[in-house]
Chains A and B, each alone.
Chain A
Amino acid sequence: MASQEITSKNLFSVSAAPVWHCGRTVRSTMLHSLLALLPAAIMAVYRYGYDAIAVIAWAGLAAVVTEFLMEKWMERESTADDFTALFDGVVFAFLLPSTAPIWLVVIGSSLTIVLGRMVFGGFGGSPICAPAVGWAIMTVSWPEFMDLNAMLLNWDLVEPLSDLKYFGVEAITDISYTSLLFGQNLGALGASQVLLIAVGGIYLLATRQLRWFIPISFLAGVYLTGLIYNIIDPTLYASPLFHLLSGGTMLAAFFLMPYPSSSPTWKLPMLLFGFLGGALLIIIRTYGIYPDGTCFAVLLINLCTPLIDLIQPKPFGGR
């Protein structure tokens, strides 16, 4: 079948003879990514208790089982052992409120795999970031169960971004940056553990599982666009640092934007991709109807990837 042809070795014969396999596989990259998500997951469990474990576990389980069943049906070799499905499920869980009902978690996680990946031919074929697809469908379908304030009513805090959306800049003046950094405000299960997500991201950068272009340019895009708005009218638009530390910005920078197969591959396109994504995030947060537009920004910029990828390096000796 077509999939076997693509993965067969003779298609990968590179011209210059001494070639050395660096030992990197999809499996090892995904294990590193899961390890990078671990601190934030532990912190989420510490903060939100048993609910957080249940949501993460069900999302991961549903993703792996869905992928296994789909591959069985498509008569393909199962790829459950490369942990891509588990990664997608866990990242999807990180975007949910910790008290999300289990049926919503299972449906969302399965749709993440089916509509985000399998309809495009599995991992590596998807033009859009799978966990963001799951989040977007869930948010459009069941806004009442995805609303962080409504789902976490027993906490007397309010989600900073919806505060900003519905009550303006004055409402967020007493929210300190350190409390945002340590995830002491209301937020999505894992995405609100900003510092630990960033630690995981820096681990990925340090072990060179991830190149720095997309995360750094994404954060720069968020900061600069936020700064422009903030300079225009500080009483109307929040400070750029607030945007950097709230909602899913950090998770998007290190895990959603550099999602393999939906992000460009060369340096300049990666910088452009990240920067435009960051700018879109601020624009959607400012004018959109949802408080947090992170995943919508990621999905929109993913659709531009084929265009941005047209910027290609000039081959040596080429004209």
Chain B
Amino acid sequence: MATVMQEFTKGLWKELPPFRLVLGLCPTLAVTTNAENGLGMGLAVIFVLALSNVLISLVRNIIPKKVRIVCFIAIAASLVVAVEMLMQAYAYGLYQQLGIFVPLIVVNCIILGRAEAFAGKNPPLASLADGLGMGLGFTFSLTFLGGIREILGVGEIFGVGLFGPSFHPFTFMVQAPGAFVCLGLILAGMNYLSVWQAKRAGVQLDPHFDAGCSGCGACKMMDQIAAQKKLERMNPAQG
């Protein structure tokens, strides 16, 4: 149970999808013109991510390795179509606001990334925890970014005015370049926070490895490739 809890919490801060893993940037930049859009997008992603993680984890042993990406996308696409139809039925205003970015959840890096890096290798319960954690982290990040952009760019939060009529909104923030600048500053802030925490704890921080890499597995893959090449070099006749 401890590990399930760990899988859940890592998506909330240590491997926060848009700000730590820097995944799923397309909706992060495009739909966060206000906090409400960010929240709605995040909720749609939680639904798809949690269910796709569970389904993929359930069928992970019967999918042939070579066609796994196609299967992952087929599962994610079915779920996204379901979300889209539910949104059309029950939250039509939000559906119109998010527009093309709801169907685009299919090709969102987080869905495929978690499927490939986690759900394809782990049991359903851990995968569910991972999907929920990552989805929640994604939702918080999008709402946070949308909130900052809405406060500065429109002077409102969730549609409620903050500063009164004499405020001249900083329109740059709700336009496309504002998203990039804001995201860059948040990433810098995350790194600054890590450095500050490490300094306070008295730990010497290696600047290149401050994000956790337990979910990636690229190093293991490289090791396997190296071992295979070594094997081939030792037995050239078989190759």
Interface residues of A (CB under 8 A from B): 115, 119, 137, 140-143, 145
* Residue picked from A140, A141, A143, most chain B C-beta under 10 Å: A141
- In whole Å, how far is B31's beta carbon from the nearest beta carbon of chain A? 20
Bound Cα distance from A41 to B175, whole angstroms: 33
With an 8 A cutoff between CB atoms, is B181 at the interface? yes
Q: Which of B19-27, B81-89, B166-174 makes up part of the contact surface?
A: B166-174
Q: Are A115 and B177 in contact (CB under 8 A)?
A: no
* Residue picked from B172, B175, B185, most chain A C-beta under 10 Å: B172
Q: List residues of chain B with CB within 8 A of the CB of A137.
A: 172
Q: Are A119 and B172 in contact (CB under 8 A)?
A: no
Bound Cα distance from A145 to B175, whole angstroms: 18
Knowing A137-B172, A140-B171, A140-B172 touch, does A119 contact B188 (C-beta < 8 A)? yes
Interface residues of B (CB under 8 A from A): 168-173, 175, 177, 181, 184-185, 188
Q: Are B177 and A142 in contact (CB under 8 A)?
A: no
Which B-chain residue is minimally distant from A114 (CB atoms)? Answer: B185
Q: Are B181 and A115 in contact (CB under 8 A)?
A: yes
Q: List residues of chain A with CB within 8 A of the CB of B175.
A: 140
Q: Are B184 and A141 in contact (CB under 8 A)?
A: no
Which B-chain residue is minimally distant from A139 (CB atoms)? Answer: B172
Q: Are A142 and B171 in contact (CB under 8 A)?
A: yes
- In whole Å, how far is B80's beta carbon from the nearest beta carbon of chain A? 33
* Cβ contacts A to B, 8 pairs, < 8 Å: A119-B184, A119-B188, A137-B172, A140-B172, A140-B177, A141-B170, A143-B171, A145-B168
Bound Cα distance from A115 to B185, whole angstroms: 10
Q: List residues of chain A with CB within 8 A of the CB of B185.
A: 119
- In whole Å, how far is A293's beta carbon from the nearest beta carbon of chain B? 15
Which A-chain residue is minimally distant from B185 (CB atoms)? Answer: A119
Q: List residues of chain B with CB within 8 A of the CB of A145.
A: 168
Q: List residues of chain A with CB within 8 A of the CB of B172.
A: 137, 140-141
Bound Cα distance from A141 to B173, whole angstroms: 8
Bound Cα distance from A29 to B211, whole angstroms: 43
Report the 3 A-B pairs with minimum CB-CB distance, sorted nearest first.
A141-B172, A141-B171, A140-B172
Bound Cα distance from A202 to B172, whole angstroms: 36
Which A-chain residue is minimally distant from B188 (CB atoms)? Answer: A119
Bound Cα distance from A142 to B185, whole angstroms: 21
- In whole Å, how far is A248's beta carbon from the nearest beta carbon of chain B? 20
- Knowing that A137-B172, A141-B170, A143-B171 touch, tell me 8 more A-B residue pairs with CB under 8 angstroms: A119-B184, A119-B185, A119-B188, A141-B171, A141-B172, A141-B173, A142-B168, A142-B171
- In whole Å, how far is A2's beta carbon from the nearest beta carbon of chain B? 11
* Residue picked from B168, B169, B175, most chain A C-beta under 10 Å: B168
- In whole Å, how far is A206's beta carbon from the nearest beta carbon of chain B? 38
Q: List residues of chain B with CB within 8 A of the CB of A115.
A: 181
- In whole Å, how far is A303's beta carbon from the nearest beta carbon of chain B? 13
Which A-chain residue is minimally distant from B170 (CB atoms)? Answer: A141
Which A-chain residue is minimally distant from B152 (CB atoms)? Answer: A141
- In whole Å, how far is B164's beta carbon from the nearest beta carbon of chain A? 15
Q: List residues of chain A with CB within 8 A of the CB of B181.
A: 115
- In whole Å, how far is B151's beta carbon from the nearest beta carbon of chain A? 14
Bound Cα distance from A77 to B65, whole angstroms: 57
Bound Cα distance from A119 to B185, whole angstroms: 9
Bound Cα distance from A266 to B185, whole angstroms: 33
Q: List residues of chain B with CB within 8 A of the CB of A141.
A: 169-173
Q: List residues of chain B with CB within 8 A of the CB of A143.
A: 171
Bound Cα distance from A191 to B140, whole angstroms: 45
- In whole Å, how far is B90's beta carbon from the nearest beta carbon of chain A? 36
- In whole Å, how far is A274's beta carbon from the nearest beta carbon of chain B? 25
Bound Cα distance from A137 to B181, whole angstroms: 11
- In whole Å, how far is A70's beta carbon from the nearest beta carbon of chain B? 13
Which A-chain residue is minimally distant from B172 (CB atoms)? Answer: A141
Bound Cα distance from A53 to B172, whole angstroms: 27
Which A-chain residue is minimally distant from B175 (CB atoms)? Answer: A140
Q: List residues of chain A with CB within 8 A of the CB of B168.
A: 142, 145
Bound Cα distance from A7 to B172, whole angstroms: 36
- In whole Å, how far is A173's beta carbon from the nearest beta carbon of chain B? 35
Bound Cα distance from A143 to B170, whole angstroms: 11
Bound Cα distance from A145 to B170, whole angstroms: 12
Q: List residues of chain B with CB within 8 A of the CB of A140.
A: 171-172, 175, 177
- In whole Å, how far is A200's beta carbon from the nearest beta carbon of chain B? 31
Q: List residues of chain A with CB within 8 A of the CB of B171.
A: 140-143
- In whole Å, how far is A147's beta carbon from the nearest beta carbon of chain B? 14
Which A-chain residue is minimally distant from B153 (CB atoms)? Answer: A141
Bound Cα distance from A141 to B178, whole angstroms: 10
Bound Cα distance from A61 to B170, whole angstroms: 22
Bound Cα distance from A140 to B175, whole angstroms: 8
Bound Cα distance from A119 to B173, whole angstroms: 17
Bound Cα distance from A119 to B180, whole angstroms: 13
